[in-house]
Amino acid sequence: MSPPPLRIIGTSSTLTAELCRAARQDLPFPIEFEILDGPSCMRRGVLKPESYDVYDQWFYSLDVLWTAGAIQAIDTTRIRRWPQVRIAGQIPGSAAKQVGAPSAQLFVRHDGTLAERPDDHAPPRIGMLPTTYNADSFGYARELLSELAPDETESWAWLLDDRWHGRCTLSLDPAGSAVELALAARAAGLVDVRDPGNLTIEEIDALFQVLLSLKRRGHFTRFWGTSEDSVALMAGANAVIGSLWSPAYYALRGMGRDIIHGAPREGYRGWHSGLCLSANVTGAMRDAAYAYLNWWLDGTPGAIMARQGYYVSVVDTLRETLSQAEWDYWYEGKPASEDLPGLASTIAVRRGETREGGNYLNRVARITAWSTVMPEHNYLARRWREFLEL
Partner 1 sequence: MAETRIPERNELASELEDPPRIGASAFLYESVFGLLQRKIASGAMPTGAVLKEAAVAIHLNVSRAPVRRALAMLAERGLLRPADGQGYVVGEAIPRPLSARELHDILAEATEDISRSATWERIFSRVSGEVTALLPFGTYRIQEAELGDHHAVSRTVAREVLWRLMDVRLIEKDRKSHWIAAQMTARVVRDTLEMRRVLEPQALANVAPLLERSWLEDLARRIEAAVARFPACGAAEIDAIEKDMFGTMYAGLRNTRMLGSIRRNQVALIVPRLFRRHFPVRDDLPSLVAYGQIVRLLCAEALEAAQILLRTQIERSEPLVLARLRVLSILPPPATQPYMIAVH
Instruction: Note whether 378 binds partner 1 by CB under 8 A.
Output: yes
Instruction: Note whether 386 binds partner 1 by CB under 8 A.
Output: yes
Whole-angstrom distance, CA of residue 390 vs CA of residue 384:
10
Which residue from 80, 81, 165, 377 is in contact with partner 1, where contact means CB under 8 A? Answer: 377
Whole-angstrom distance, CA of residue 139 vs CA of residue 243:
6
Those residues whose C-beta lies under 8 Å from the C-beta of residue 91, and which sit 6 or more positions away, are: none
Helix, strand, coil % over all residues of the chain, rounded to 5: 40, 20, 40
Instruction: Note whether 213 binds partner 1 by CB under 8 A.
Output: no
The least distance separating partner 1 from the CB of residue 205, rounded to whole angstroms, comes to 11
User: How big is the site for partner 1, counted in residues (CB under 8 A)?
Assistant: 29
Instruction: Note whether 379 binds partner 1 by CB under 8 A.
Output: yes
Instruction: Note whether 388 binds partner 1 by CB under 8 A.
Output: no
Angle at 201 between CA 198 and CA 204, to 5 degrees: 75
Instruction: Note whether 47 binds partner 1 by CB under 8 A.
Output: yes
Instruction: Note whether 46 binds partner 1 by CB under 8 A.
Output: yes
Instruction: Note whether 64 binds partner 1 by CB under 8 A.
Output: yes
**Spatial contact of 315 and 302, defined as CB atoms under 8 Å apart:** yes
> How far, in whole angstroms, is CA 334 from its chain's centroid?
23
User: What are the CA-CA distances from residue 218 to residues 147, 162, 182, 205, 215 (Å)?
Assistant: 20, 10, 19, 20, 5
Instruction: Note whether 48 binds partner 1 by CB under 8 A.
Output: yes
Q: Binding mask 255-284 vs partner 1 (x if CB under 8 A, - otherwise)? A: ------------------------------
Which residue from 3, 4, 123, 375 is in contact with partner 1, where contact means CB under 8 A? Answer: 375
| Backbone torsions φ then ψ of 160, nearest 5 degrees | -110, 10
Which amino acid, one-letter code, is at 65? L
Whole-angstrom distance, CA of residue 390 vs CA of residue 212:
8
Whole-angstrom distance, CA of residue 96 vs CA of residue 103:
9
**Spatial contact of 155 and 265, defined as CB atoms under 8 Å apart:** yes
Instruction: Note whether 42 binds partner 1 by CB under 8 A.
Output: yes
285 CB burial (10 A radius; 0-12, 13-18, 19+): buried
Q: Binding mask 153-192 vs partner 1 (x if CB under 8 A, - otherwise)? A: ----------------------------------------
Which residue from 83, 111, 237, 256 is in contact with partner 1, where contact means CB under 8 A? Answer: 111
Those residues whose C-beta lies under 8 Å from the C-beta of residue 301, and which sit 6 or more positions away, are: 19, 22, 23, 131, 132, 295, 312
Instruction: Note whether 112 binds partner 1 by CB under 8 A.
Output: yes
When the beta carbons of 44 and 355 are compared against partner 1, the nearer one is 44
Instruction: Note whether 205 binds partner 1 by CB under 8 A.
Output: no
When the beta carbons of 228 and 386 are compared against partner 1, the nearer one is 386
Which residue from 3, 4, 43, 350 is in contact with partner 1, where contact means CB under 8 A? Answer: 43
The least distance separating partner 1 from the CB of residue 378, rounded to whole angstroms, comes to 3
Which residue from 5, 39, 333, 341 is in contact with partner 1, where contact means CB under 8 A? Answer: 39
Which residue from 12, 98, 200, 323 is in contact with partner 1, where contact means CB under 8 A? Answer: 200
Whole-angstrom distance, CA of residue 44 vs CA of residue 172:
18
What does the binding site for partner 1 look like in residue numbers (CB under 8 A)?
39-40, 42-44, 46-48, 63-64, 67-69, 111-112, 200-201, 373, 375-379, 381-383, 385-386, 389
